Structure 1
Amino acid sequence: MPALAQTGLEAPAASASATPSVTLDTLFSDLKHERDDQKARRISERIWAQWRDSGSATVNLLMQWADKAVSDRKNGLALDLLDQAIVLMPDYVEGWNRRATLHFMMGNHGKSMVDINRVLTLEPRHFGAIAGMAAILSESGNDELELRAWEQMLEIYPANRQAQQKVGELADKLAGRKT
């Protein structure tokens, strides 16, 4: 989602006996226990690399084309490409997440939230989607729900500086309202 930078670092190859979900589970466990923000960021980059790889050359190509269309400001084309990726692989979390991000960029917050809900149904630990939800809640002025979203992110990714900062700011803001 818009609040988190995604990098192109690739995850190391998993052993033949490891499944992607086991690898993700291990990475999420490491992320939850890592307090150093730089080390945590490297773990999060490995998670993003796992999410980006759909396992399908066709879907990966559609996603690359969608990224290019977004960078060329051809949002309609990007949306069509993301729709096709989702049709081909309806359980591909990152297809839904990228479409949520595009809807957010286009100002379609309701559609973005629908896609975010689908992302979180498929992968409840998707901290990028949670950050996107927090951004939408921030724009709508819903401080209480935004705070809950950032707190949820910190449960998954405790070393995330942005989430830490937002929780502090929102907690102070809400405490000021109650006094």
Structure 2
Amino acid sequence: MQQLFEKARTAPDFRVGRTVSQEMWKVWLEAPDEAAQEVLDRGMRKRDSYDFIGALADFSRLAEYCPAYAEGFNQRAYIHFLTENYAQALEDLDIALSLQPDHVAAQSGRGLTLLKLGRIEEARKQMLIAVENNPWLSEATLLAKGAPLGPVGEDI
């Protein structure tokens, strides 16, 4: 994964940077075995069709079946985020990051969740870490001058 972070940091333009981001997702979305992959894929299909209850059940099953697989917790956190259950999202993101500390999507998701919880300074610090690992994240715009996580004292 460190090679992908370096490729993202040195990408010459948006197109190359987004391609590297997609490569990162390929790594995270590769489940430990075929059964886990089936549950992950099914949960993502349910999520994409707004069946958050079904997706949550699948991602919970995945987290229980593969407790060392960070993406199960990251996907479950995303469902909690989408349903505005931010405290539970944060809990799952913390688990995902304890399993895979460099999981950029979990890092940025954690930053967004902290922002929703009004924990601005923590959110800023977390998002800076995520953007350091992948400067092509769309969430990087939240760190711009005048943005919600922009530099302190430069918000006007």
Q: Which bracket does the TM-score occupy, shorter chain normalised?
A: 0.7 to 0.9
Q: Does 1:171 align with 2:150?
A: yes
* CA deviation string 1:79-103 (max 9, x = no partner): 2211111122111111111000011
Partner Cα separation in structure 2 for residue 81 and residue 160 of structure 1: 27
Q: Is the 8 A contact 1:37 1:161 kept in 2?
A: no
Pair 144,68 (structure 1): closer, same or farther in 2 beyond 3 Å: same
Using the TM superposition, give the Cα deviation of residue 35 of structure 1 relative to its aligned residue in structure 2, in angstroms.
4.4
Normalised by the length of structure 2, the TM-score is: 0.86
SS at match of 1:175: coil
Provide TM-score, normalisation by structure 1: 0.76
CA distance in 2: counterparts of 1:30 and 1:157, whole angstroms: 9
Correspondence 1:132-147 to 2 at 5 A = 132-147=109-124
Deviation of 1:120 (Å): 1.0
Question: 2:97–2:103: 8 Å Cα contact kept in structure 1?
Answer: yes
1:145 Cα offset (Å)? 1.6
Q: Quick one: higher RCO (CA 8 Å, sep 6+), 1 or 2?
A: 1
| Whole-Å separation in 1 of the counterparts to 2:62 and 2:39 | 6
State which of 6, 9, 13 in structure 2 corresponds to 1:32: 9
Alpha carbons of structure 1 residues 36 and 161: separation in structure 2 relative to 1, 3 Å: farther
Q: Which residue of 1 aligns with 2:21?
A: 44
Larger Rg belongs to: 1
- Output the CA distance in 2 between the equivalents of 1:86 and 1:160: 26
- Structure 1 Cα separation of the partners of residues 60 and 9 of structure 2: 32
Name structure 2 gaps, 5 residues minimum.
none
- Matched residues, number: 153
1:121 aligns with 2:98: yes
* 1:50 Cα deviation after fit: 1.1
Q: Which amino acid aligns with 1:68?
A: R
Q: Structure 1: how far apart are the matches of 2:110 and 2:22?
A: 20
Structure 1: 4+ residue segments shifted above 3 A: 159-162
User: Shift of residue 111 of structure 1?
Assistant: 0.8
Would you say the 8 A contact 1:35–1:158 is kept in 2?
no
Alignment of 1:69-84 (within 5 A): 69-84=46-61
Query: Of the candidates 131, 142, 150, which is equivalent to residue 108 of structure 2?
Result: 131
For 1:27, the aligned partner's letter is: L
Matched, 1:152 2:129: yes
